[in-house]
Amino acid sequence: MNGDRFRDLAIGAYFQDTPGHTDAGKAFLFLGSAFGMSKKPNWRSSGENLIDAKYATSITALDDINYDGYDDLLIGSKQKENDQIQSGKVFLYLGGPKGFGEKAAWTADGENQQQALFGEAAAPIRSKAFNGFVVGAPTYSAAEDLERTGKIYLYRVQSAKSSP
C-alpha cells in the first residue's frame, strides 16, 4: 500500500464501537517491513463514524487502480444509512508513500436503495480491456415482484488519467 514492496495487511472490524457510536466499524492497516508486520496499526479509519454503519464489512485490495505506483483500498459499509435504511456505501482510499489519507478519495452508494446492503462484498477486476472493481448489493430489489434479487455494480478505470 505504501510502495515499499513488503506485504501489508488491512483488517476490518465492522462491529467495532467508536466513542458514542455502537457498531460503527473500523478499518486498520498494518505495514510490513524487513522486520515483519508492524505490531500497531499505521493507519485506521472509521469512515463517517455512524451508529450501526458496519464500516469495514468488506475490505478489498485493488492493486494500483489509479496507476500512481501505490496499491489502493476499497472499504464497504453495508449498513451505512444515507437517506435510506441499510442502503450501504463504499469508500476508495488511494495509497501513497505513507499509506492512505484520512479521507476517502471517492465514494459511492449504489442507487441508495433501502436495505440493499451495497458494499457488503467487492472484488478487483483486471483485464486486457480495462481495470476496475465490482461492488455487490446482495439484497437489492429490482422491482416490487423481484425483491432481494441482488445486484452487482461495475466500476471501470480505463486509463492512467481517469478515475472510477
DSSP string, the chain: --SSSS--EEEEETT--BTTBTT--EEEEE-EETTEE-SS-SEEE-TT--TT--EEEEEEE-SSTTSSSS--EEEEETT--SSSTT-BEEEEE-EETTEE-SS-SEEE-TT--TT--BTSEEEEEE-SS-EEEEEEETT--SBTTBTT--EEEEEEE-STT---
Confidence bin at 159 (pLDDT 50/70/90): low
Q: Model's pTM, two decimal places?
A: 0.89
**Predicted local distance difference test score (pLDDT) of residue 135:** 97
Q: Quick check: is 162 in a domain?
A: no
Q: Quick check: is 58 in a domain?
A: yes
Q: Quick check: is 105 in a domain?
A: yes
Q: How many domains does the chain have?
A: 1
Q: Quick check: is 86 in a domain?
A: yes
Q: Quick check: is 3 in a domain?
A: no
Residue 127 has pLDDT above 60, yes or no: yes
Domain around 67: 9-157
Confidence bin at 162 (pLDDT 50/70/90): very low
Q: Identify the CATH number of the domain in which residue 153 sits.
A: 2.130.10.130
Confidence bin at 97 (pLDDT 50/70/90): confident
